[in-house]
A and B are shown apart, each in its own frame.
Chain A
């Protein structure tokens, strides 16, 4: 019994308090989003708000169970739990029930469970266990690949359902790798690629190609610090591209400017590589291959966008980037969601007074777009409060993670941070039109038992680890 008393005292009550507030706010927002004149009681279990209180009750029970288990259990069984959940992901592809075109749900009588929600914490445990092994160098290709496999297996299986939103969540785990020492250049290169891919969709490939070439010259200068080299390099490029252009004009070849530019990069590249080898200028080949890599990337992204993505997916991405304006088409959801939030004003329309939401203008009101209800009925004060609560929770998680004594527990803390923050950023971002519409719930807030259960388990495993951080080391 002694251990339980310690647990009671050492568990982080700040986090639990924020958690409880979020769950409670979520519940009353589900109530107002789904409010039905016929069923005025918030406890009416024929309605979603009544059902949510059942989920909340069972969730507390689950949280209690998670906390009373010995914290070494999670370390010891990390891979087993991961394996079990992967098995469920496979099973759901076969036995699952198809809803809205995705086979993501198990159905047991009146209850539906979405295994992909639970795979998140399981993958986190496995990844943390793998990365916390002694003498592991994360920048070693082999260990990086192993970590990637742990993450990509669920991504692949969830994509098969298909549920792209849930699959994308796992990419947030790169933050965990970064915290554990993943080379900063790889991390920021990833971010650079993300930015480049957005720009590629925005601008013509000619502009992108030209900019990449100019950036390469700039990088060359930064690395070598010799203006002379840069001018030589530019001159070589100018001569080659100029003569190609001349040939085109002379013989009236049907060549596009883009083609000439790419040809010039290839031909001048040969010259650069030869000269740099002769004069022993380092870095030229690295910069050159990065340049080619970036060009291939933009080209293939364009290809994928135009030939692989479905038209409705292209449209959704375009809407967010503001490329197509189409209020009656696929921008409808975002537009309606923005109107709902915007109409809330500073202090909101008041509890149960929202009209945008009552008219059912916004789809998925109580699940993915629950933040609209907050915006409409509680105004800027409400949205600010919710963002502040999430910020407190997430910063607190970092703080707790950093005070862990073992790498496993610290890394798991970052898993919790990555997954929750990705959900918050993407979910809120899409309702205010800063992100594409990716159907993932707002943690603790959105209607739905699976997500509430899964986020609670995710968080409380970590709280259990934190509460027990003194147990096995003193």
Chain B
């Protein structure tokens, strides 16, 4: 076969050889002619020092500084550059034993022969000054400036979170981190780690044979500039947060306060709390273990992670669902003779006026009324079966943010629990249960589990008459126009906004009703401010019940919505209601008119002295 194109082999081969030639010229210029790339063949004359940027600062919503940084020094070691040195002198300067030195060098070698790893962390400026003069004697060591977190106050430890060294798992998973790097481990420090950490840089220094710095290599041409962490403004109100922590002292529980019109978290208190300064620096690991072993679990963020049945604070939701499903009307009345009897089941109630309509049932927290409402919802003829009606009820409940994570910017948020029909099928068999079987859900007991954050969010929904923004703790990030659109999107519940007014009136009367009308939360009253609230008691099989109060104020154009939990506090009205009331007054007026009430709360100690958790203070 004739081949007319045989000569093209020269074109093709020529093309390749031409490119090879260009590459060889380029390599020659890179490797032989251009000396700037030749750092060194022995790796002794240059040394890369990681530049750790300062983490971003954290402010409260009014621009008050919450978290900043202070300088410390890490002594680093590069095992393959080590040479014999005066160990005794070295140990004296650093105040460590020779065994320590051996152990630490072994550790460094285990990590890497060529890469620097920390030998002794967080040397004080004073030791550093002495060490710096003698550094030339210790080849293979160098000092790395670092920054540590510094806290302005002793507050908001749970919300802010803490920073600690990365563990090996993270190093393996994420290319960015190296041994000895710091990383946010909880709270804002964790959820905004990418923003706060900035970006590490590398400086390349010329080093003489004695390991002394001789200036930067090539005027820093090959350095990578570190980028300082970005500052964050949180939604927290320092005064309110501080006051909340004060009120919760000697009590176990939590306070979550949210600004309803934005979903911004104003205060997030989990008690007992701890001083965030305990978890920085060299004292960190020791303190961390202490805190971890504390029986009162101060590290546990109750506001996000404690799950309780909501108790009577859940009654407004059942009322709303009843209205939406048209199984009751605001004027619907039910008799209550100290309890509810139905299908052989009895739910007790306290002594109050009878019969009551919906707002007054909220005011009096009548169990009987809400058992009737709940039965109406589940036995609604619109649905083919109780199970179907139940799942519809569940969807309403879920639309308030229960039973799933709210997707807030908190880490470690828990889901709570709202059972499905299938959950009961498993226990009672299909069609083996009726409205009466689940009647405890009517008054927020039973299988329901909610977190304090979810409850605060529920109040937000009521305050807003039907919608919420995902609660979040970061207001703005420096240099970014807006926080994530996730937190700007209005979330509607499945309840029409017109139904809320009745419920809100009930919550108003619960606090501000005339004496003798059965108001359950009169302790939350504030002169001149219409507080709307609802008490609740979470049953506690292990001891005294938990005291719960949810509230928002003012009634029209609400500025604050909150949930307060006091574990083992008994009735909702006893401790939780006054605490919520004091918080509202503090936030709205910044003055306190009821010294006696404040004193009562401050003097209450619900923690057994034997296992007092404040030993660390």
Measured CB to CB, the residues of A under 8 A from B are 37-38, 175, 178-181, 327-328, 332, 335, 338-339, 341-346, 348-350, 353, 355-356, 358-361, 363, 375, 379-380, 383-384, 387, 390-391, 394-395, 398, 401-402, 407, 414, 417, 421, 425, 428-429, 432, 434
Contact = CB atoms under 8 A, between A and B. Distances in A.
Contacts of B132: none
A355 B28 contact: no
Contact of A429 (B23, B31, B43, B113): B23
B19 A328 contact: no
Interface stretch (B6-14, B383-391, B566-574, B609-617): B6-14
Contacts of A417: 12, 16
A179 B114 contact: no
15 contacts: A178-B8, A332-B224, A339-B39, A339-B222, A342-B34, A345-B32, A346-B32, A348-B41, A355-B114, A356-B39, A359-B115, A363-B175, A387-B20, A425-B19, A432-B26
B48 interface: yes
A328 B38 contact: no
Contact of A343 (B8, B17, B20, B38): B38
A350 to B, nearest CB: 8
A334 to B, nearest CB: 12
B22 interface: yes
B597 interface: no
A189 B17 CA distance: 21
B1 A407 contact: yes
Nearest to B109: A37
B5 to A, nearest CB: 5
A394 B224 contact: no
Given A343-B41, A348-B41, A349-B43, 4 more contacts: A338-B37, A358-B112, A391-B17, A429-B23
Contacts of A387: 20, 23-24, 27
Contacts of A338: 30, 37
Q: Which one of B28, B39, B224 has the greatest number of beta carbons of chain A within 10 Å?
A: B39
Given A414-B12, A434-B22, A375 B115 contact: no
A463 B11 CA distance: 23
B441 to A, nearest CB: 42
Interface string B93-131: 000000000000000011011110000000000000000
B24 A398 contact: no
Contact of A345 (B13, B17, B41, B115): B41
Nearest to A383: B27
A380 B31 contact: yes
Contacts of B37: 338-339, 341-343
A181 B30 contact: no
Contacts of B112: 37, 358
A181 B40 contact: no
Contacts of B27: 341, 375, 380, 383-384, 387, 432
Contact of B20 (A180, A355, A359, A391): A391
8 closest A-B pairs by beta carbon, nearest first, are A342-B37, A355-B43, A358-B114, A380-B31, A343-B39, A342-B30, A37-B113, A328-B224
A375 B31 CA distance: 8
B440 to A, nearest CB: 46
A248 to B, nearest CB: 37
B12 to A, nearest CB: 6
Contact of B36 (A342, A380, A391, A402): A342
Contacts of A395: 13, 16-17
Interface in B177-234: 199, 201, 222, 224-225, 227
